[in-house]
Structure 1
Amino acid sequence: MQDSVKSALLTPLMDRLVGDFGLRRYIRTLRVQGQEQVPKSGPVILIPNHRSRWDALIIPYVTGRRVSGRDLYSMVSHDEMLGLQGGVIGQCGGFPVNAQAPSLGALRRGVELLR
C-alpha cells in the first residue's frame, strides 16, 4: 500500500488554488450550512455521498484547515492514486483503498489517522 506523507507546503497551496481560484470560478454560488458543527478537535469521519466529482474538492474546502484548523486525510479509490494525480492526492493526505477488494492495511491506516 502506498503510504501518504502529507506535504506542509502542497496542502495549503492546493487549498488556495482549488478553493479560492478553482471552485470560486466554476461554482459561483457556494452556500454552506453547518460549518459550526465541524469539531475543532478529536477524531472525525466525514462520509460524503459523492453526488459529483466536485465533492472531493468541496469537502476539504468547507471543512478543512480554514474551518476546523485541521488538515483532512482521505481514503481514495486506488485508481485515483495513479500517476501525477495520485502523487498530488497522496501529498495532500489521500491514501488508497481498493473498493472491490479492500485491504486490512487501508482500514489500519484509517484507524491510525483517527488515533
Structure 2
Amino acid sequence: MSDAETQIPKPGAVYYFGRAVLRPLFAVVYGARTSGRENLPATGPVLLVSNHLSGWDTVLIPTAASRPVQFLTKSSLFTRPGVLGRFLGWFFTSIGGVPVLRTAGQAAQAALESGARILRAGSAFAVFPEGTRSRDGRLYKGRSGAGWMALETGAAVVPVGVIGTAEMTPFGMLRGRTRPEVRFGRPLDLSDLTGLPQGAARRIATERMMDAIAALSGQERADVVNGSSQDAGA
C-alpha cells in the first residue's frame, strides 16, 4: 500500500454511532424515507452518483446507505484554527472525510485521484456529478469526473436520487410538504464502453449516470453545466 493510500481515512466509531442515531431521528423528525437500499452491493468498490439539492444530502445519503459511504470534504474544514478547528478536523477524519481543495485544474484532478484511491481500497464513495448543489431544483449536466472514476477503477456505479432535502431546516421544520427521501437505483452496466476512446467512454458513462439520476429524482433537466460550480471535472 502506498503512502498516499495510507493517508485516506476510514469511517470510524463516530460514523457508525452517528448513523445509528440519525437514521431513526430523521425518520421521526422529518419523515425521511429510503428505498432501493438492496441495490447497494454489500462488498467491493461502489461509486454512488447523486443529484445535489442541499447540504443535507451529504448527511442523508450515508445515513440511509447499508454500508459506510465516504465523501470528499472541503480542506478548509480540517485546518480551521482554535478549539473548534481541532474538533472539526477530528470529526471529519473520524467519519472518513477526505480533504480536498474545491478548485479547477490540478487540484480538481487530485480530488478525482483521491476518490479513485478510496474505490480501489474497496470502499463506497459518493459524488455529485453536477459539481455543486442545484439552486433552482433542476438537474444540471454532469461533469466527466464521475465517469472517469467509474471507468478507471471498475467500481459498481449506483445512481442515487435525493428528494425534498432543499426544504429541510434545522429543528425538524420543513418549508414544504415534500418528505425527504433517498432512492438507490440499480447498478449501471458500463461494460459495453470498454474499448471506446477514453473521452467518448467518459461522456457516455456520465450521460447514463445523469439519465438514471433523473429517473430516480424526477427532476426537470437543464441542458447546461451548473454555472456556480467550481469543481471542474468532478
Q: Which has the higher mean CA deviation after the structures are superposed, 48-57 or 70-79? A: 70-79
**Residue 76 (structure 1) aligns with:** 73
AA of the residue aligned to 1:96: P
Q: CA RMSD in A?
A: 2.4
* Aligned residue number for residue 52 of structure 2: 50
Give the Cα–Cα distance (whole angstroms) in 1 for the partners of residues 24 and 38 of structure 2: 20
Identity of aligned residues (%): 27
Return the offset for 1:81. 3.7
Q: Distance in 1 between matches of 2:11 and 2:44?
A: 22
Q: 1:104 to 1:62 in 2, by over 3 A?
A: same
* Structure number with higher helix proportion: 1
Q: How does 1:1-115 map to 2 (within 5 A)?
A: 3-6=7-10, 8-21=12-25, 23-27=26-30, 29-63=31-65, 67=66, 70-82=67-79, 83=85, 84-101=87-104, 102-115=107-120
Matched length: 107
Secondary structure of the residue aligned to 1:45 is: strand
Instruction: Write the distance in 2 (CA, Å) between the matches of 1:59 and 1:19.
Output: 10
Per-residue deviation at 1:94?
0.7
Q: Which runs of 4+ in 1 moved over 6 A?
A: none
Judge conservation of contact 2:13–2:94 (CA < 8 Å) in 1. Answer: no
Classify the secondary structure of the residue corresponding to 2:69: coil
Q: 1:80 to 1:48 in 2, by over 3 A?
A: farther
- By relative contact order (CA 8 Å, sep 6+), the higher-ranking structure is 1
Gap runs ≥5 in structure 1: none
Rg larger in 1 or in 2?
2
The TM-score with structure 1 as length reference comes to 0.73
**3-state SS, counterpart of residue 46 of structure 2:** coil
Cα distance in 2 for residues equivalent to 1:77 and 1:46? 19
Unaligned runs of 5+ residues in structure 2 are: 80-84, 121-234
Which letter maps to 1:72?
A: V
